[in-house]
Amino acid sequence: MAEIAEIDDTQAKIKEFLSRFFKNHDLQPSEDIFSLGFVNSLLAMQLVAFVEKEFGLTVEDEDLDLDNFRSIDAISALIARKGGTSAAA
């Protein structure tokens, strides 16, 4: 149960961050953010900075795969794989 709660917390934080860029749109966990139009070089590095700062990990060369950043689900899976911990916890 604790693990599920942590994933939910991670997803909520990612959603909150992305919501700044997708105003008036209720982003779903599996929704492809690249299909929504805003994702370009302006968001790309901010997303990396957010993931690193918020979850205390380093996005590395081998993590540079669009599929790792495609959706809230994908980003939270990347964070889980890299052993990220919520900075707020």
Partner 1 sequence: MNLDLTPEQRAARERFRAFANERIVPFADAWDREEAIPRELIGELAERGWLGSLLPAEVGGAGLDRITYGLLIEEIGRACSSTRSLLTVHDMVGHALRRWGKPEVKERHLRALARGERLGALALSEPNVGSDAASIETQAAEDGENFVLSGRKKWTTFGQIADLFLVFAKVAGQPAAFLVERDTPGLSVVPIHRMHGTRAAMLAELHLEECRVPRASMLGRPGFGISHVAATALELGRYSVAWGSVGILQACLEASQKYAAERVQFGAPLAEHPLIRALLAEMIANVRAGRLLCLRAGFLQERSDPAAFAETMVAKYFCSVAAAKGASDAVQIQGANGCAPDSPVARYLRDSKVMEIIEGSTQIQQLAIPRFDFPEF
Chain positions contacting partner 1, by CB under 8 A: 17, 20-21, 23, 38, 40-42, 44-50, 52-53, 61, 64-66
Q: Nearest approach, Cβ of 58 to partner 1 (angstroms)?
A: 10
Is the Cβ of residue 59 or residue 71 nearer to partner 1 in the bound state?
Answer: 59
Q: Which long-range contacts (CB under 8 A, 24 or more apart) does 4-13 make?
A: 6/86, 7/76, 7/80, 9/86, 9/89, 10/55, 10/76, 10/79, 10/80, 10/84, 10/86, 11/72, 11/73, 11/76, 13/54, 13/86, 13/88
**Which residue, 1 or 76, is less far from partner 1 as judged by CB?**
76
In the complex, what is the shortest distance from the CB of residue 68 to partner 1, in angstroms, rounded to a whole number? 11
Q: Is the CB of 29 or the CB of 56 nearer to partner 1?
A: 56
Minimum CB separation of residue 49 from partner 1 in Å reads 4
Instruction: Give Cα 82 to chain centroid, integer Å.
Output: 13
